[in-house]
Chain A
Amino acid sequence: MDQPIIIEPITRIEGHGKISIHLAPNGEVADAKLHVTQFRGFETFCQGRPFAEMISLVERICGICPISHSLASAKACDDILGIRVPETAQKLRVLLNCGEFIQSHALSFFHLSGPDLILGMDAPAEKRNLFHMLQSHPEIAKDGIRLRQIGQQIIEGLTGKRIHPAWVVPGGVRTPLQEHERDTLLERLPEAQAILERAITLFIESLKKWQDEIEHFANFPTLFVALTNSSGQLEHVHGNLRCIDENGAILEQCQTAAAYQDIIGEASEQYSYLKSPFYIPRGYPAGMYRVGPAARLNVANGCPTPWAHTLWEQFRLFAQGPILSSFYNHFARLVEIVYCLETAEQLLQESNITSKHIRAHAQPNYHEGIGIVEAPRGTLIHHYNVNTDGLIERVNLIVATGNNNLAMNKGLVQVAKKWVKGSSLSEGAINRLQAVIRAFDPCLSCSTHAVRGPVTAIELLNYDGKLLDSI
């Protein structure tokens, strides 16, 4: 029997979780697990509510990506209504999503992973945070804060609020974009683009010092799943699911949202509240797949906007075939911010973006609705069933972080085998174990649906379960 090490809490991620590392009798790492120790329960307590309330209810799942939940929920509600959303409302939803991607990816890159990338994985723990970055690298830290602010300001400009705006509604959006807000948002975009230019240069220049991490941060073959548009290019809000294999061959190209049920199954494990989705044709756990920024760039044929497409080409040159190391998620996030900035600029310049025709009305016409979007952390699926009165009977949420569960666990094993030596944890090992999880930018509070149990940690346990070390 193996012996565990526990690391708790995992820091600089959204939500609560812990890592356990199991050592074999010879002291070598035998296995590692990510335990998500909180439970939310949205799938159950939403039952019985009117479907029109679902968007605002599920927004409360998360403070970082409420927009993604609202958009997936809105698409599911549109499906229940059997409605065609007005063109301007569709564009405004995409614009809102751009705001969220910019702020969320900026948070992940600069605030959460920035201390690792800028100060180094082996820097003292007390210095690996944004506050120290503000002292040591103030320009980079300020760039991150400003970029995130610009993303939040897009959300605020559209909805009046930065978090939980309850602005997306079944059939469209609640209020039109005002012309003066459009002009203000457009004025801010060049500043964001300049920040991105600096961040991309910084990341590319630093790549050579991360070769060990690139090689060992969840660098293994898996399937990849993401939405693509009708041309197979990067898409966040519309489009259909595509699944590619480890060599880049297309395994599935869904034509409807409902088709997800044929390819994605859900398993659960005793050690975590997080479900483990898998690709059905390959079974569990062999059907491991990844979602998220790098997965999206792997799955897509390109990007619909020019600068982002150039960066996508650069991304694909990091390796032959799909980029397997999850370390490249950091770069993929920068590419996606560029895509969102370009998309936002295009949309804001369209003549009908301030149109007042932003909502279609209907009674519920169908008993089932499915909404799929790309959240910053990956593919997000909301699937509702309602009764004849439009009251929710069943909710199934397959949340971005859950899709990556199997891959995160395997990534932990890879990092633990490389950096955990003996029965104690070095500072560098502790941080890299967390950093590989951070590379996926998981949102644990999003993914498990009441916070219960202890806050998270890393534990090192011996073969008979004795705790050897923990943080």
Chain B
Amino acid sequence: MTDHRLQNSVRQRHSLHPEDIVTLVIDGQQLTADPNDTLLTIAQAHNIHIPTLCFLEGISAYGGCRVCLVEVEGYGKLVPACLTHPAEGIIVRTQSPRVIEYRKKIVELLLSERNHICSVCVTNGHCELQQLASTLGITHIRYPGLFPSLAIDASNTRFIHDPNRCVLCSRCVRVCAEIEGAHTWDIIHRGIKSRVSADLNQPWKEAVTCTGCGKCVQACPTGALSEQGKAVGEMLKKRYTESTT
């Protein structure tokens, strides 16, 4: 969280009526917050790090990846910080052993579901999934890999869709629908067979709604969407620009 965003958060809170402010504890810190904020944004505003994957600032929260799960005292289940609003007096733990273990399992399941071979991936060294696994100290995957063989869509002259590297975070779907307004992408099938597809399952080049803006490629956290012609490690996502701060 930047100082700029922290100041905004504080400013907003000061403009609220005292009855509209909730107090809560995150990782031992006594905090006040707007009840319309989420646990994730509150934590970010106070420099408390909660890892995310499907969350992307600027588009709606989805809660699909479950990487931002946190523990709330008295709640039976872990809750996604990106979708959970604060209640008065709750005590939140973002780094408890239970939370960490769940996060590791989630990331390992993601890694086992598709073919995430970092050494030969276009986003090697710049991948959010890779960074997440590294931060969580994942050196091995306890689940057997499924190693699916999914066809790559390289029909677009500028971009490639490799579903073998997709984590179904739906950032591409949301950025295309909510920012570009094209809604070219969506998720077809269900469960383990789910995958991202363009225009009712058409080859990308035949997706008439696609404007070719490339936002989906830049929003993708992995190498599932990349620019044509990129070799290993060459696909840097252009997201973190000054305009977002």
Q: Which residues of A contact B (CB under 8 A)?
A: 48-50, 52-53, 55-57, 60, 164, 166, 169-170, 174, 361, 363, 389-391
Cβ contact within 8 Å between A363 and B231: no
CA distance A391 to B154 in the complex (A): 7
Complex alpha-carbon distance, A60 and B232, angstroms: 12
C-alpha gap A169/B234 in the complex (Å): 10
Point out the residues of chain B lying under 8 angstroms from A169, CB to CB. Answer: 231, 234
Q: A53-B122, A60-B119 known; A170 and B231 CB under 8 Å? A: yes
**B160/A50 in contact, CB under 8 A:** yes
Question: In the assembled complex, which residues on chain B have CB atoms less than 8 Å from the CB atom of A391?
Answer: 152, 154
With A166-B232, A169-B231 already in contact, the answer to whether A56 and B152 are too (CB < 8 A) is no
B155 on interface, CB distance cutoff 8 Å: yes
Task: Please name all residues of chain A whose beta carbon is closer than 8 Å to the beta carbon of B229 when the two chains form the complex.
Answer: 52, 170, 361, 363
The answer on a CB contact under 8 Å between A53 and B232 is yes
Inter-chain CA distance A56–B123, complex, in Å, is: 13
Which B residues, 126 to 164, have Cβ-Cβ distances below 8 Å to chain A?
149, 151-152, 154-155, 157, 160, 162
Chain B residues with Cβ below 8 Å from A55 are 231-232
A36→B154 CA distance, assembly (Å): 37
Q: Which residue of A lies closest to B156 (CB)?
A: A389
A–B pairs, 5, beta carbons within 8 Å: A56-B231, A164-B119, A169-B234, A389-B154, A390-B228
Residues on the B chain within 8 Å of A389, using CB? 154-155
Is B152 a contact partner of A166 (Cβ separation < 8 A)?
no
What chain A residues lie within 8 Å of B154 (beta carbons)? 50, 389-391
Q: A50-B160, A53-B120, A56-B120 are in contact. Are A166 and B231 (CB under 8 A)?
A: yes
Chain B residues near A48 (CB-CB < 8 A): 149, 151-152
Complex: how many Å from CA A391 to CA B203?
Answer: 14
Q: Is the CB of B152 within 8 A of A49?
A: yes
Shortest C-beta distance, B15 to chain A (Å), equals: 51
Chain A residues, CB < 8 A from B122: 53
| Contact across chains for A52 and B230 when beta carbons are under 8 A apart | yes
Residues on B with beta carbons closer than 8 Å to the beta carbon of A49: 152
Indicate if the CB atoms of A50 and B120 lie closer than 8 Å. Answer: no
B227-244 interface mask toward A, CB cutoff 8 Å, 1 = contact, 0 = none?
A: 011111110000000000
User: Which of B149, B151, B229, B234 is most buried by chain A, counting CB atoms within 10 A of its CB?
Assistant: B229
A53: which B residues are within 8 A, CB to CB? 120, 122, 231-232
Residues of A within 8 A of B152 (CB): 48-50, 391
When chains A and B are docked, how far (Å) is the Cα of A164 from the Cα of B233?
A: 12
Contacting A at CB under 8 A, from B204-245, are 228-234
The reply to whether B231 and A60 form a contact with Cβ atoms under 8 Å apart is no
Using Cβ atoms and an 8 Å threshold, which residues of chain A touch B228? 50, 52, 363, 390
- The CA of A52 and the CA of B229, in the complex, are separated in Å by 6
Task: Give bound CA distance, A50 to B156, whole Å.
Answer: 13
Other than A164-B119, A170-B229, A363-B229, give 7 A-B pairs with Cβ distance below 8 A. A50-B152, A55-B232, A56-B232, A166-B231, A166-B232, A170-B231, A391-B154
| Nearest-Cβ distance from residue B66 to partner chain A, whole angstroms | 30
9 tightest Cβ-Cβ pairs between the two chains A and B: A56-B232, A389-B154, A166-B232, A169-B231, A56-B120, A57-B120, A52-B229, A52-B231, A391-B154
Query: Contact: B157 with A363, CB < 8 Å?
Result: yes
Instruction: Output the nearest chain A residue to B229 by Cβ-Cβ distance.
Output: A52
CA distance A164 to B120 in the complex (A): 10
Shortest CB distance A387–B (Å): 9
Please measure, in the bound complex, the distance between the C-alpha atom of A56 and the C-alpha atom of B120, giving whole angstroms: 6
Bound complex: CA of A49 vs CA of B160, how far in Å? 11
The interface residues of chain A lying within 8 Å CB-to-CB of B124 are 166
Do B233 and A166 have beta carbons less than 8 Å apart? yes
A50 to B162, CA, bound (A): 9
